[in-house]
Amino acid sequence: MNTRSLCLLTLALLAVTDRLHAQGTAFTYQGRLNSGGAPANGSFDLAFTLFSTKIAGTAIAGPLTNTATAVSNGLFTTAIDFGAGVFTGGSNWLEIAVSTNGANRFVTLAPRQQLMAVPYALWAGTASNLSGTVSAAQLTGTIPPTQLPATVVTNGGSGVTLTGNFSGNGAGLTNVSSPGMAWQTVTGTVQAQSNQGYIATDTAMVTITLPASPNVGDIIRVSGAGAGGWTITQNAGQVILGANFSAVAPNAQGHLSGSTWTCVASSADFTTLVAGALEATEIPFWVWSNSGATWTRPSATVGAWASVASSADGTKLVAVAATTGSGQFTTPGAIFTSPDSGVTWTKQMELLNSGVPVASSADGVKLVCANNGNGVLTSADSGTNWGMRTPGSLQSSNWSAVACSADFTTLVATINGGPIYTSTNSGTTWKARASNQAWDAVAASADGTKLVAAVHHGQIWTSSDSGVTWTPYATLDNWMAVASSADGTKLAAGVASGPIYMSSDSGVTWTPRMGPQFTIYGAGGLAMSADGTKLVAADNGTLIYTYSDNTTSGTAGYLVGGLDAAVELQYIGNNQFRPLSFTGGVYCY
């Protein structure tokens, strides 16, 4: 009978090798194999199976067969690898079966060999010198702050002091109890620094200049605690946008005093303005630059001007004036056009009336006028030829105002004492909208979907569907003129005697912005830039006023606040600051 026995010489097992990624999961097994009572020689197949019990039980891993294991004088050495997750700290026994190489007739040896940890494995199990990555789920317990490096910031630790320089804007910080901004009291003249707060405490005006080179997102705060108040001045090229401060006269400037101003118009970018007066005078136009405003007059003298409109670029103008008389609207009237921003004017067509409103397409080629008592007329060639657009039954109506979309597709015309009429095909057909009221003025967004109309001794009405439906807003007043931004969200409205009101929500709410006392003569008394930030108003008998939602660009622009007034400004890039909040009387210039 061929018998074999195995004598265990040395077992080097890393009992927690699944925790030591650098060591792997294999271990070395050395033994002695006897055959027929004598040391074996040759190649043998060895099969290893792992159990958690000394006898019987279910195998944990294996059998793992190492074929052609060399045995010399009874001694052999082989590597065993059951893979990860096998050794979890419990007791284990190794069962070995042996077969002559390739014979596949295994004989199980007894007894099973218990696997014991060696000193290196015991030391490694304490994790005192781990290398590689250890997942957080495998770590428990608390590490005292004293054992952490000095550069580590602890979470929830007390008595932690941070020193040195810090960079970034702090956008990721949360749960910070400090306001994060230092405040200092100031008097006289101060150069502001980014992310600082200044309390003006002087009895005289304190001047604070905006930071010269801020980063996007930087903040400056100013608060008035002294009777002198404060002024925030700007560096070259800087501007404070969308100010919307205080109730009255932010950046309102008067021009051309002494005339009975009746009508105004503006290019889309507000660089070209045109204004007409009731007296027999010329139409002046105004070109805006950072250095100020210049008004020039054309050479021809004509009668009292009733209305004027401009192309988007300000080069093509259309106006209506009385050709005789002075100081009043007399008959006959006439339509005049200018191709060169008002330098020269050409009389195009006589009208039975002179108090006739006009409107222009964005390119200045298509024009419309509401000829009071004589219907609505349009021109498709910059005013050279005109055609009647209303049926005979409507021609004698008391037409009071007219407006059009930028492409001239949508037209809207009002009748004082009648309805509002709209057309979506450049005046070919018309539909009556809204109720009969004393409609005095109307304006349209660039696409013609948003409309605003004013009722004399009534309310302001708006439409968001090209005039199909209308909703009343604002209080009852003697409304005379309205104007709209290109998108229809910013609106302006003037009364016969009082402030000029503005809305930034398509007419839902209104706030007095210029005043306190303006006298708007008629429907053409207001005009607005395409972005809605600038406004020009004709104050009957006094001045032409220009208004800007922003400060004047550069060193000429500034904010003013009094005692108890405060403002918070944020730099948004491109030399632009935007107010985040304010309280008290803050005015922009």
Distance CA 31, CA 54 (A): 19
| DSSP structure string for 128-181 | TT--S---GGG--S---GGGS-TTPPPSS-SS----S---S--TT--S--S-S-
Which of 216, 207, 213, 161 lies closest to 187, judged by CA?
207
Distance CA 192, CA 207 (A): 10
Q: Which residue has the tokens 């309102």?
A: 252
* 63, 339, 530, 533 from 313: Cα distances, Å: 90, 11, 11, 17
Name the band, by pLDDT with cuts 50, 70 and 90, for residue 118. Answer: low
Q: pLDDT of 210-228, one tens digit each?
A: 999 999 999 999 999 999 9
pLDDT at 259: 65
Distance CA 377, CA 276 (A): 22
Which residues partner with 224 through β-bridges?
Answer: 200
Which homologous superfamily does the CATH classification assign to the domain defined by 4-124?
Immunoglobulins (2.60.40.10)
Q: If you average pLDDT over residues 544-558, what whole number do you get?
A: 76
Is pLDDT of 477 > 90? no
Q: Tell me how far the alpha carbon of residue 6 is from its chain's centroid.
A: 80
Name the band, by pLDDT with cuts 50, 70 and 90, for residue 209. Answer: very high
Which homologous superfamily does the CATH classification assign to the domain defined by 252-548?
YVTN repeat-like/Quinoprotein amine dehydrogenase (2.130.10.10)
pLDDT at 588: 73
Name the band, by pLDDT with cuts 50, 70 and 90, for residue 355. Answer: low
Name the band, by pLDDT with cuts 50, 70 and 90, for residue 525. Answer: confident
pLDDT at 380: 95
Q: pLDDT of 357-415, one tens digit each?
A: 899 999 999 999 988 778 899 999 999 999 988 877 777 788 889 999 999 999 999 99
Whether the Cβ atoms of residue 478 and residue 457 lie closer than 8 Å to each other:
yes
pLDDT at 123: 44
Q: pLDDT of 83-99, one tens digit each?
A: 887 877 778 888 988 98
pLDDT at 155: 61
Distance CA 174, CA 157 (A): 16
pLDDT at 21: 43
Distance CA 534, CA 191 (A): 29
Is pLDDT of 561 > 80? yes
Q: If you average pLDDT over residues 564-575, what whole number do you get?
A: 92
Q: Minimum mean pLDDT among 169-178, 303-312, 505-514: which range?
A: 169-178
Which of 94, 96, 83 lies closest to 52, judged by CA?
94
Q: What residue spans define the domains of the chain?
A: 4-124, 182-244+572-588, 252-548
Distance CA 461, CA 434 (A): 9
Q: If you average pLDDT over residues 548-562, what whole number do you get?
A: 82
Q: Which residue has the tokens 């009405």?
A: 461
Q: pLDDT of 299-346, one tens digit each?
A: 555 567 788 899 999 899 998 886 554 444 445 678 889 898 887 888
Name the band, by pLDDT with cuts 50, 70 and 90, for residue 15. Answer: very low
Q: Is 546 helix (H, G, I), strand (E, B) or coil?
A: strand
Mean pLDDT of the chain: 79
Distance CA 267, CA 528 (A): 8
Is pLDDT of 55 > 50? yes
Which of 465, 466, 521, 526 lies closest to 501, judged by CA?
526
Upstream peptide bond of 63 is cis (omega within 30 degrees of 0): yes
pLDDT at 230: 94
Whether the Cβ atoms of residue 525 and residue 191 lie closer than 8 Å to each other:
no
Which of 444, 443, 439, 509 lies closest to 480, judged by CA?
439
Ranked by mean pLDDT, which of 87-96, 350-359, 569-578 comes out on top?
569-578
- Token pair belonging to 45: 């197949």
pLDDT at 294: 56
Q: pLDDT of 275-303, one tens digit each?
A: 777 765 444 444 443 323 456 666 555 56
Top pLDDT among 129 and 248 is at 129
Q: Convert 190-231 into a string of H (helix), E (strand) and C (coil).
A: EECCCCEEEEECCCCCEEEECCCCCCCCCEEEEEECCCCCEE
Ranked by mean pLDDT, which of 94-108, 114-128, 258-272 comes out on top?
94-108
Whether the Cβ atoms of residue 34 and residue 7 lie closer than 8 Å to each other:
yes
pLDDT at 120: 47
- Burial string for 479-518 (b: 16+ CB within 10 Å, else e) reads bbbbbbbbebebbbbbbbebbbbbbbebbeebeebbbeeb
